[in-house]
Amino acid sequence: MALAKITSVTGRAVPVAGNDIDTDRIIPARFMKCVTFDGLGEFLFNDVRQDPKTGETTHHPLNDPRFKAATILLSGANFGCGSSREHAPQAIQKYGFKAIIAESYAEIFFGNSTTLGIPCVSASREDIAKITAAVEKNPQTEVVIDLVQREVRFAGQSVKITQRESARDALVNGRWDAIGELLDGIPAVKATAAKLPYLAA
């Protein structure tokens, strides 16, 4: 089955401000004992969404009912730094996020996200502030991440984004999952193998 071509992502956004948000904050290590990634979304940002002493919920953006339907995450520089755990982008995806807009990303987090079909695009701090201001004023604001035009459109405005070309090309052409590509190529592999005399039964 061919992979989806991800040319754009449309949805509401939630700002999770801060630089150097690491993977341990995204998904604390104690939740990584799962056999599969299913259910990880429940624990996204767990230790900053509730008070560690009382267990009560905090004022974290993901606890704000105004942003409950958000599918685009806004953040700062060096997002996803720290441990290379694949659980971090998995938790983000399982929570319901479809894309991330940040100033920059840690290398391994960026790659792991891309292979899940999660576009990680970069924008300047000033432009992210513009998007943040719009969604805080009206959480219903529709945000469109256009990978083809390399821009984000929102509330009658648009800002430029950047993305590593290899990742952008993989997403817009449906080649973002290497395993999926291999599985799609099985018929061709079998056809070629059948023509090789040294593989004949």
Kindly report, residue by residue over 62-77, the tens digit of the pLDDT: 999 999 999 999 999 9
CATH 3.40.50.300, domain 8-175, yes or no = no
Answer for the pair 40, 91: CB distance below 8 angstroms, yes or no. yes
Answer for the pair 60, 66: CB distance below 8 angstroms, yes or no. no
Instruction: Give which of 149, 104, 110, 97 is closest to 128, Cα–Cα.
Output: 104
- State how far the Cα of 91 lies from the Cα of 126, in Å rounded to an integer: 28
CA torsion 155-158-163-169 (nearest 10°) is 90
Domain ranges of the chain: 8-175
Token digits of residue 84: 């290379």
pLDDT of residue 2: 66
The beta-strand segments (E) located in 18-116 are 72-74, 99-102
Token digits of residue 32: 């990584």
pTM: 0.88
CB neighbours (10 Å) of residue 21?
25
- State how far the Cα of 37 lies from the Cα of 181, in Å rounded to an integer: 21
Phi and psi (nearest 5°) for 119?
-65, 125
- State how far the Cα of 72 lies from the Cα of 99, in Å rounded to an integer: 5
Instruction: Give which of 169, 114, 178 is closest to 147, Cα–Cα.
Output: 169
pLDDT averaged over consecutive 10-residue blocks of the chain (201 residues)? 87 97 92 78 91 80 95 98 92 97 97 96 98 98 98 98 96 86 78 82 58
- The residues with which 15 forms a beta bridge, in sequence order, are 74
87-95 vs 107-114: helix crossing angle, rounded to 10 = 50
